[in-house]
Amino acid sequence: MEIPSVYLERAVTQMAQLPGIGRKTAMRLVLHLLRRERSDVEALADSLRELVANVHYCRICHNICDGDVCSICSSKQRDHAIVCVVESVQDVMAVESTQQYSGVYHVLGGVISPMDGIGPQDLEIQSLVERVQTEPVQEVILALSPTMEGDTTCFYIYRKLADADVKVTTIARGVAQNEQLHYTDEATLGRSIVDRRPFKA
């Protein structure tokens, strides 16, 4: 596909580098932008520039924030004795939106994945261990995805925290809320039977 303008070509090439966006979609997005007000497009461009210029990561939990320490880590309403370990910033937002958790977080920045060349040293695991050793943390909740990589990372962290005087827990696995039992995959259903618990009325 020959593109009739170098500026169009450049914008399409840049947009097509975003994940899940091919050249055809990029072209559609860019031509949409051309139909918008010029100030709208400039606002988009500026928001991206300002994002990378100003965004910070909390020096305690490594969540995205605007200052040195994030609003959760600096809140007196939160229980700083419980640390929920998550893979990403998105996972912090996911747990927060449940409104079921009042502790603090620790964002690893990924999970151990030898296939992708990601080892423990690429993640915020050492800082978690130091945090548990130096702060009065009582419980570490491992809230990682129930995948091979997530499980490996859980196990690695569990071993690293073996010497620390801290309770290590993981989030419950089982059938999803409102899911039809006969549509649940075997592994999940099997595990939910093994991990059965006393019925509470």
Sites of contact with its own copies (CB under 8 A) = 1-8, 10-11, 13-15, 17-21, 25, 27-34, 38, 40-56, 63-66, 70-72, 88-90, 92-93, 96-97
Residue with Cβ nearer its own copies (32 or 173): 32
Per the rule left: phi > 0, alpha: psi between -120 and 50, beta: everything else, 135 is beta
Instruction: Check if the beta carbon of residue 84 is closer than 8 Å to that of residue 106.
Output: yes
Residue with Cβ nearer its own copies (51 or 81): 51
Query: By C-alpha distance, which of 177, 176, 136, 156 is closest to 85?
Result: 156
Residue with Cβ nearer its own copies (64 or 129): 64
- We find the least distance from the C-beta atom of residue 195 to its own copies, in angstroms, to be 29
Strands 79-86 and 64-65: unpaired
Alpha helices in the chain (DSSP H): 6-15, 23-35, 38-54, 89-98, 126-134, 148-160, 186-194
- We find the least distance from the C-beta atom of residue 103 to its own copies, in angstroms, to be 16
Q: Which two tokens stand for residue 83?
A: 């640390």
- We find the least distance from the C-beta atom of residue 124 to its own copies, in angstroms, to be 14
Residue with Cβ nearer its own copies (33 or 129): 33
- We find the least distance from the C-beta atom of residue 186 to its own copies, in angstroms, to be 29
